[in-house]
């Protein structure tokens, strides 16, 4: 039986479009190997909407496999800036709980 320890994946450097493949690969590998994943974004030096899409996709993938992917708070500055600028932190947004690290709800809830 797989142990339920939480694995922390640290995303660092630029996680924008130029690094999207590497970020997605790291998330996929973490989901493949672990049931519970926390993503630490504190050391990000860059993020864009691709980062947001990649994280949402990974969350949905984890949920589809009965796994949990959450973000550690506080979010890294670059990711926080993208979320603020694009309106993802508005209370009426579907995934606001994911970004605010207040919720471990499955995607879409």
Which 3-state string (H, E, C) describes the chain?
A: CCCCCEEEEEEEEECCHHHHHHHHHHHHHHHHHCCEEEEEEEEEEECCHHHHHHHHHHHHHHHHCCCEEEECCCCCHHHHHHHHHHCCCCCCCCCHHHHCCCCCCCCCC
Residue 107 has a pLDDT of 38
Quick one: pLDDT band at residue 102, thresholds 50, 70, 90? Answer: very low
Residue 72 has a pLDDT of 94
More confident residue, 97 or 26: 26
Q: Is the pLDDT of residue 1 over 50?
A: no
Can you give the pTM of this predicted structure?
0.86
Q: Average per-residue pLDDT in the chain?
A: 89
Domains of the chain by range and CATH? 6-99 (3.30.750.24)
């Amino acid at each position: 039986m797989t142990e339920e320890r939480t694995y922390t994946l640290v995303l660092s450097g630029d996680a924008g479009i130029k690094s999207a493949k590497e970020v997605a690969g790291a998330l996929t590998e973490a989901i493949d190997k672990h049931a519970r994943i926390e993503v630490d974004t504190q050391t990000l030096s860059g993020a864009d909407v691709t980062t947001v899409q990649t994280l949402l996709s990974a969350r949905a993938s984890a949920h589809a496999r009965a796994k949990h992917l959450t973000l550690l708070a506080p979010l890294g500055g670059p990711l926080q800036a993208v979320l603020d600028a694009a309106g993802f932190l508005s209370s009426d947004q579907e995934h606001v709980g994911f970004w605010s690290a207040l919720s471990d709800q499955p995607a879409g809830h």
